Structure 1
Amino acid sequence: MSLPPDLVDRAALARNRARARTLGAELFLHEDAAAEAEERLSEVNKAFTAPAVVTAFPDPWAEILPDARIVADDEVLALEEGAHDLVIHALALHWANDPVGQLIQCRRALSPDGLFLAVLFGGQTLAELRAALAEAESRLAGGLSPRVLPMAEIRDLGALLQRAGFALPVADAVRRTVTYATMFHLIADLRAMGEGNALARRSRRATPRALFPEAAARYAGAYPAGDGRIAATFESIWLTGWAPHPGQQKPLRPGSAVQRLANALGATERRAGDTGD
């Protein structure tokens, strides 16, 4: 059976990131994510002595984990099996052609009862930009070209944790709205983040000259943020899981409760179909 084609052009992604570093990368979202990760780790009753961070932009993560091993988010991660008690996959998993493979590699790199923490952009990220570009291109060209990376929804990502073999999997989302003067300022920021278009099926033809002005006008009209600015949504999805260990808590088996729910709620229990009349 043939493998599906890659979604991401990894060579183009590497070029985008290299250009961002050369021009001075805009890392405020990485800085926010690192601060959030630090807060989440502070709530875990465990000291981590052998952390690793998978990231394309290590500086914000080195601030919170100066002794961490920094690992590039290559398709094959440079992680040793069972070598780490903490692995963070930092704002790179949304660019993976094989996200399950990335999770499995991180799982194997953990020692028993080691913690995995990932943050990536989720499906609501840049919803405004997608809509404005799609509407403008549909009107001008009668069709659409892949311009913004499709991103996974939280329900799907939670299931991936289980497929990768993590215990106690949890997924949650944090949304942030950022305002910009125009859509062009947003696009410039995305390029400075290394988050420009690196889709394998992106159009190589010249973009119609009227496309971006048309999209910018639609964006400004549909998503105002006040004071003449526009709003852009960034959804960060957080994934947490543990390497299995015999001492971990486990969910109760169905039917194993020792107290009735009705007693806990102070309610009267009735059989199914009993109306209580």
Structure 2
Amino acid sequence: MSEPSPSDTPPSLDPAACARWAAWPHAASPWLNEEIGRRMEDRLQWIRLQPTSWVDWAPLSGGLETHAKLRARYPQAHCQVIEISAQREQLARQALQAPWWRRWLKPDALTFGAPAAGSADMLWANMALHTSDDPQALLQKWHQLLAVDGFLMFSCLGPDTLRELADVYQGKGWPPACHAFTDMHDWGDMLVQAGFAEPVMDMERITLTYANTESLLAEFRALGRNLHRNRFAGLRGKQWLAQLKTALLLLAKPAQDGRITLTVEVIYGHALKPLPRLKVQQHSSVSLQDMRTLLGQSPSGRSV
């Protein structure tokens, strides 16, 4: 597989818009993210490793209900929640943390903030990767947080997402409706480049239907923003909104009882963190964490 270049992974994202969306305080987790999280959580039944420590990356957008399902699946495991901003961390604390008196009676297996490097058996990241303007750096950060033999579970949007909406915008001569999403195979390449092993990629398409344009627009305001660097430069008026609603009605499908229809492509990824491989040269340098890991492992993979 070809190596993706930094200029097009992910394509067309505006870093400033990404930062604003990442810090946006969700009142509740988007329902689509919760549904995708539910489907990804169901895949854990095929994972043999039972983590004793795991990281939930940005659960406020990734899914608070999904977080509860994961806590129920691994009731004895310690969970470390990492949010994107202080405001979002406070909202996550209010939603997820037990009352103080309950924590006083029984310590809660839930903490907030970044854990020590190499301490997590699982890192869970639902619907976060496709909004990162530097996904390679984010994958490397996730890799650093995982222990050897720990695993990553993530989901993100794929290239066929909102293809119908993209056609509407193109037909009108408007700027792109959203940024371009990275292909499943490129994510597999980037996982390997970040140090992961045995990546397993999968995808599915979900059809969303809406009774009218008002319900569609209201729902998409909670699901995301247009992060394309060449999106409309300013606000549009009522005339443009009327044109958009008229164009969206063309997406109504008789097979869906006349409901407006949009496609979402969802990519699921799973990968392991292997034992570090050292490049033997005349002069080699090894990080302290890698040296501790290597000294603690025998060639068979068992602790010495």
TM > 0.5: yes
Q: Where does residue 61 of structure 1 map in the other structure?
A: 66
> CA distance change for structure 1 residues 222 and 189 in 2, over 3 Å: closer, same or farther?
closer
Q: Map residues 124-273 of structure 1 onto 2, 5 A cutoff.
A: 124-136=160-172, 138=173, 144-193=174-223, 195-207=224-236, 209-224=238-253, 225-245=255-275
Sequence identity, in percent?
Answer: 25
Residue 209 to residue 13, structure 1, CA distance change in 2 (3 Å): same
**Contact map agreement 1:135 1:215 (CA 8 A) in 2:** no
Cα contact 1:26–1:189 (8 A) shared by 2: no
For 2:167 and 2:239, locate their aligned partners in 1 and report how far apart those are by CA, in whole Å.
16
Q: Once the 2 structures are TM-superposed, how far is the Cα of residue 230 of structure 1 from its aligned partner?
A: 1.0
Distance 2:215 2:170 in 1: 19
Amino acid at match of 2:39: E
1:91 Cα offset (Å) = 0.6
Structure 1 residue 95: Cα displacement = 0.6
Greater percentage in helix: 2
Aligned length, in residue pairs = 232
User: Is 1:122–2:158 an aligned residue pair?
Assistant: yes
Deviation at 1:209, TM superposition (A): 4.2
1:34 aligns with 2:37: yes
- Alignment-derived partner of residue 82 in structure 2: 71
The AA in structure 1 aligned to 2:53 is A
Question: Of 83, 87, 91, which aligns to 2:127?
Answer: 91
- Alpha-carbon shift at residue 151 of structure 1 (Å): 1.1
Distance in 2 separating the partners of 1:238 and 1:29: 14
Who is 1:254 aligned against?
none
Deviation at residue 40 of structure 1 after TM alignment = 1.2
Distance 1:177 1:240, change over 3 A: same
Secondary structure at the aligned position of 1:106 is classed as: helix
Q: TM-score, normalised by structure 1?
A: 0.74
Structure 1: segments with no counterpart, 5+ residues: 139-143, 249-277
**CA pair 14-63 structure 1, distance change in 2 beyond 3 A:** same
C-alpha distance in 2 between matches for 1:238 and 1:14:
21
Distance 1:48 1:109 in 2: 14
| The one of 40, 50, 54 aligned to 1:51 | 54
Quote the offset at 1:49 in angstroms. Answer: 1.0
CA 1:222–1:36 in structure 2 vs 1: closer, same or farther (change >3 Å)? closer
Cα 1:98/1:11, change in 2 over 3 Å = closer
Query: Structure 2: how far apart are the matches of 1:7 and 1:38?
Result: 30
The residue type paired with residue 216 of structure 2 is L
CA contact (8 A) 2:56 2:80 kept: yes
Contact 2:166 2:176 in 1 (8 A): no
1:83·1:109 contact (CA, 8 Å) conserved in 2? yes
Q: Can you give the 5+ residue segments of structure 2 that lack an aligned partner in the other structure?
A: 1-5, 72-77, 86-112, 276-298
